[in-house]
Amino acid sequence: MIVAVGADHRGFALKERVKDLLGREGHTVADLGCHGPASVDYPDFARAVGLAVAAGRAALGVLVCGSGIGVSIAANKVRGVRAALCCNEEMAAATRRHNDANVICFGADHTSAELAERMVLRWLGAGFEGGRHAGRIQQDRRHRAGRGRHRRRVAADTGTARRTGMNRHLQAADPEIADVVARELGRQRDQLEMIASENFTSLAVMEAAGSVLTNKYAEGYPGKRYYGGCEFVDRAEELARERVKALFGAEHANVQPHSGSTANMIAYLACLSPGDKLLGLSLSHGGHLTHGHPVNFSGLLFTALHYEVDRETETIDYDALREQAKRERPKVLVGGASAYPRHWDYAAMRSIADEVGAVLIFDMAHVAGLVAGGAHPSPVPFCDIVTSTTHKTLRGPRGGIVLSKLAHAEAIDKLNFPGVQGGPLMHIIAAKAVCFREAARPEFAAWARRCVENAKALGERLLEHGFHLVSGGTDNHLLLVNLTSKDISGKKMEHLLDEVGITVNKNTVPFDTRKPFVTSGIRIGTPALTTRGMGPDQMRAIGDIIAGAWEAREDEAARAALRTRSKELCEAFPLYPEL
């Protein structure tokens, strides 16, 4: 049975205790938050649990706040929910027997963990008696329905009927694009999103990104703009810079880059002239286009050289890299990757760069959120310049940042503007500031740890099913799966998984012999599903679905059954229930 659980910050610890109990009792737990002790608003979580129960995505719900009163009132505003506040075992059992309560609520300030566990067990074990109680419940439902009709009529009469969704103006102005947005929301809700570079932002980040700040031109930097009227957007950029420096312990930050690729261009041009050598990880071995690929600006402007992973260990051989750097004498040594599942040895990279007189630049786009949350080592203390995106594991808007030592600050700022960009995107910079604040909270650290735990759990299950994981596993949020032994291409496996409700991307693997549009591997990531609240149990279930998809590659009916399992997981962990 699926049981949805939710709590505010005062009920967080007790919710975790109840969640463990439910797991031990064999139930599937949909944890709808909160995910840490930082202050939050209880109605958000009461509504999320209520909607999950009312829609049938969960059979029952458990809610906890300080007193239990607030969550019970909020949950009962959801049609179809019968939430009962309980303070002892007898009340818990009676709410099921007499009232058919589908959500139990209690207060963490007045309920011990032991009592909460006993109440939940009694509540789960009690059955609805029906009889005269059934008639009373039907009467209550009729009263609720009547109140709902009355409220809708009043709203219509006064011209204040609320349009649902967040795009009512878009719907009126451009129904075709509104339809695209609505369909994409549906896809994100109904698919298991496992592309390692994708995540789900908070509504606060989306509000900032869609704010009136999009109207403001602000070439230059705070206090030194080429346009008037920048006093408020100046503050937004100042907050973003201050927060990201504090988050990563950086000496300097530029938050204006439009993307991670732009951030890398700025970093390179601050240190290199056209034709200078840079040494980065090969794209087919886990690197990125902007690390010197010949079709990219980094390979067109500079003399790009590449290092690879060891054929046996499928990890970076730092001794071999040192010898290569000594032979080639690059002016810039680039670290970071888009498909490398292991930690980097930053101290070794620093030593190699110093030995050959190179500037050390690290692209932490994929792991920035894990670094911010303390779940991954930080490159910032070791590197001259660190670049990143602000989406992916940081859960912010699509954009870039450049962090650096003070020695490179002036060059980076000049290369950003006027060197590479003109007017900054002030609405996106404000959204970056929001995401940096969110990433500094304790619940984000808990999310980062869970993201890595989930990747490890998924990897272990895939190994049990006979899949080959590049490097044998993962230290971060992603898995790179070599499918050669399964006799299927990455392209075909991507399509198979899409059919069963899982979104991944085909990916080259080290020493791949297939073309980049075919590949011998897939890349799988856990950030987005971790944001939905899923944990190791769900990752193991997904590992079974992935293996099942390969086994059912010639069986359409079996794939349809697997898609149903994926849909059930999505429904148990709803995405953006407020929209």
Q: Which of 25, 23, 24, 29 is nearest to 3 (CA)?
A: 29
Q: How many CA atoms lie within 13 A of 432 on its CB side?
A: 34
Q: How far is CA 442 from the centre of its chain?
A: 16
The single residue of 219, 317, 328, 571 carrying the catalytic annotation is 219
> Tokens 């420096």 map to which residue?
245
Q: How far is CA 261 from the centre of its chain?
A: 20
Query: Cα–Cα distance between 438 and 161 in angstroms, integer?
Result: 33
The secondary structure of 166-230 as a DSSP string is S-HHHHHH-HHHHHHHHHHHHHHHHSEE--TT-----HHHHHHHTSGGGG----EETTEESSS--
The residues near 196 (Cβ < 8 Å, ≥ 6 apart) are 339, 366, 392, 477, 478, 505, 523, 524, 525, 526, 527
421-to-29, 235, 262, 265, 297 alpha-carbon distances in Å: 47, 20, 9, 11, 15
> For this structure, is 149 an active site residue?
no
Distance between terminal CA atoms of the chain?
Answer: 26
Amino acid at 96: R
Query: Cα–Cα distance between 21 and 15 in angstroms, integer?
Result: 10
Q: Are 477 and 366 in contact (CB under 8 A)?
A: yes
Retrieve residue 20's tokens: 């463990």
The single residue of 95, 201, 387, 389 carrying the catalytic annotation is 389
The residues near 441 (Cβ < 8 Å, ≥ 6 apart) are 36, 38
Q: Are 394 and 451 in contact (CB under 8 A)?
A: no
> For this structure, is 398 an active site residue?
yes
The single residue of 117, 193, 363, 475 carrying the catalytic annotation is 363
> For this structure, is 224 an active site residue?
no
> For this structure, is 217 an active site residue?
yes
The single residue of 44, 89, 97, 217 carrying the catalytic annotation is 217
The single residue of 19, 96, 189, 392 carrying the catalytic annotation is 392
3-state class percentages of the chain: helix first, strand second, coil last, to nearest 5? 50, 15, 35
The SS3 of residue 562 is helix
525-to-6, 11, 264, 459 alpha-carbon distances in Å: 25, 30, 23, 10
> For this structure, is 44 an active site residue?
no
The SS3 of residue 307 is strand
The single residue of 17, 245, 322, 398 carrying the catalytic annotation is 398
Query: Cα–Cα distance between 166 and 184 in angstroms, integer?
Result: 13
> For this structure, is 237 an active site residue?
no
Q: What is the DSSP letter of 259?
A: S
Strand 505-507 with 521-525, pairing: antiparallel
φ/ψ bin of 570: left (φ > 0), alpha (ψ from -120 to 50), beta (otherwise): alpha
Max intra-chain CA distance, the chain: 87
Query: Cα–Cα distance between 564 and 290 in angstroms, integer?
Result: 39
The residues assigned a catalytic role are: 217, 219, 363, 389, 392, 398
